[in-house]
């Protein structure tokens, strides 16, 4: 098998599995229990949170563990709940993942436009930040194109607005949230440098377990509980802690940091190979993208069919976000960057990862070329 869909899911690494195993067997105790072995588990859990936080330049106490990135994104938007009587007090980038779009739309949020490059349209953002805006959500890297947004620039804009509001005696706070699910193992992330108040992390994209995520929350941000019950996670996400999951996440994030530069170099090389050996495509995500993302358009061809034809050869690729694809919806991301319907229909997303070898990349290029040629011949017949 040649797996080229690492943006959808990553296999749990052996090291991560090994680290998790004792916490499902010997060290299975509930961290809230009163006896000593449980207290040790609670301490290990806190240490793991510290490791996750450290990877983004934060402290363990600034992190809320969630059941994945969807939950973390939903939790971030509770900041608007306190004031959101009217609605319309949140802004989100139009190319965000559905877990941001859906909750933003529920709050009556307005979408910020992107440029044809996939980058945020800063002029549109500035025009939409009125005095009642409390939250702006812009992902660090897009999950369909890999586009890396200029978060630090947006962060300084938000800081300027904060100062201006203070000067004018406006008490409404303004926060910046970013979904960094796709970027965690490809960029060196630091919350202070980015100027974000909240940041979503996802273990499932970094060779950690599925259903484990985290939200970094700066001290002054007041959120409302996502779930109510035993008061875990500072009362924001009640429920017995997923100790093995969090231990696994910490191990995965440590590995990701260690391999960051090596992997980036490797993916850059693999990308070059694919771009030079593949034939008859148009590259969609030309600039400002993560090193492991390649979005190609085979105009006139149905990419959905390519997926099935490639699957027969044990090559796994995608047309866009896995969840949108499974519902047969047209990609809102490719629409937002101005692609025509036929370009969208012919677009294929390849995302590289740790399962790939150079040999596989040459083989994938050759097989994709063959499949595309056969498909073009079939259409022209
Ligand atoms: N945000 C982004 C950018 C993603 O790529 C994904 C996963 O596909 C999510 C959020 C949702 O993550 P999960 O399904 O683990 O909650």
* pLDDT one-digit tens code per residue, 313-366: 999 999 965 555 556 678 999 999 999 999 999 999 999 999 999 999 999 999
Q: How far is the CA of 108 from the centre of ligand 1 (A)?
A: 21
SS3 content of the chain, % helix, strand, coil (to 5): 45, 15, 40
Q: How far is the CA of 245 from the centre of ligand 1 (A)?
A: 16
pLDDT at 324: 53
- Ligand 1, CB within 6 Å, residue ranges: 68-70, 97, 99, 139, 143, 179, 181-182, 202, 204
Q: How far is the CA of 231 from the centre of ligand 1 (A)?
A: 25
Of 70, 208, 209, 211, the residue with max ligand 1 atoms within 8 A of its CB, to mutate for a pocket test, comes to: 70
Of 99, 142, 204, the residue with max ligand 1 atoms within 8 A of its CB, to mutate for a pocket test, comes to: 99
Task: Please calculate the CA angle 351-356-359 and round it to the nearest 5 degrees.
Answer: 120
* pLDDT one-digit tens code per residue, 242-292: 999 999 999 999 999 999 999 999 999 999 999 999 999 999 999 999 999
* pLDDT one-digit tens code per residue, 131-171: 999 999 999 999 999 999 999 999 999 999 999 999 999 99
Q: Confirm whether 297 is a catalytic residue.
A: no
* pLDDT one-digit tens code per residue, 66-79: 999 999 999 999 99
pTM of the predicted model as reported, rounded to 2 decimal places: 0.96
Identify the burial level of 135 via C-beta atoms within 10 angstroms of its C-beta, where 0-12 means exposed, 13-18 middle and 19 or more buried.
buried
The C-alpha atoms of residue 114 and residue 155 are separated, in whole angstroms, by: 17
């Amino acid at each position: 098998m040649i797996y080229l869909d690492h943006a959808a899911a990553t296999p749990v690494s052996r090291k991560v599995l090994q680290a998790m195993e004792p916490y499902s067997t010997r060290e299975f105790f509930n961290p809230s229990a009163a006896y000593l072995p449980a207290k040790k588990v609670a301490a290990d859990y806190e240490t793991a949170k510290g490791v996750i936080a450290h990877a983004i330049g934060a402290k363990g106490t600034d992190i809320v563990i969630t059941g994945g990135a969807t939950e973390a994104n939903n939790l971030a938007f509770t900041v608007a709940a306190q004031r959101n009587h009217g609605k319309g007090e949140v802004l989100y980038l139009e190319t965000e993942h559905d877990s941001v779009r859906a909750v933003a739309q529920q709050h009556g949020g307005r979408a910020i436009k992107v440029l044809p490059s996939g980058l945020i349209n800063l002029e549109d953002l500035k025009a939409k930040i009125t005095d009642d805006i409390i939250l702006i959500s812009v992902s660090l890297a897009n999950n369909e194109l890999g586009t890396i947004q200029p978060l630090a620039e947006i962060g300084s804009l938000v800081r300027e607005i904060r100062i201006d509001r203070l000067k004018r005696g406006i008490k409404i706070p303004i926060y910046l949230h970013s979904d960094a699910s796709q970027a965690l193992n490809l960029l060196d992330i630091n919350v202070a440098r980015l100027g974000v108040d909240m940041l979503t992390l996802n273990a499932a994209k970094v060779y950690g377990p599925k259903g484990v995520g985290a939200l970094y929350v700066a001290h002054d941000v007041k959120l409302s509980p996502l779930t109510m019950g035993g008061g875990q996670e500072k009362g924001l996400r009640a429920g017995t802690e997923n100790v093995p999951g969090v231990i696994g996440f910490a191990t995965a994030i440590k590995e990701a940091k260690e391999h960051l530069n090596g992997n980036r170099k490797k993916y850059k090389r693999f990308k070059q190979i694919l771009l030079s050996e593949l034939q008859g495509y148009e590259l969609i995500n030309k600039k400002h993208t993560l090193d492991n993302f390649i979005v190609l358009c085979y105009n006139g061809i149905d990419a959905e069919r390519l997926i099935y034809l490639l699957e027969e050869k044990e090559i796994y690729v995608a047309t866009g976000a896995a969840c949108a694809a499974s519902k047969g919806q047209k990609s809102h991301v490719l629409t937002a960057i101005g692609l025509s319907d036929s370009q969208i229909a012919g677009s294929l997303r390849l995302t590289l990862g740790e399962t790939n070898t150079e040999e596989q990349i040459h083989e994938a290029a050759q097989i994709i070329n063959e499949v595309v040629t056969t498909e073009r011949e079939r259409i022209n017949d």
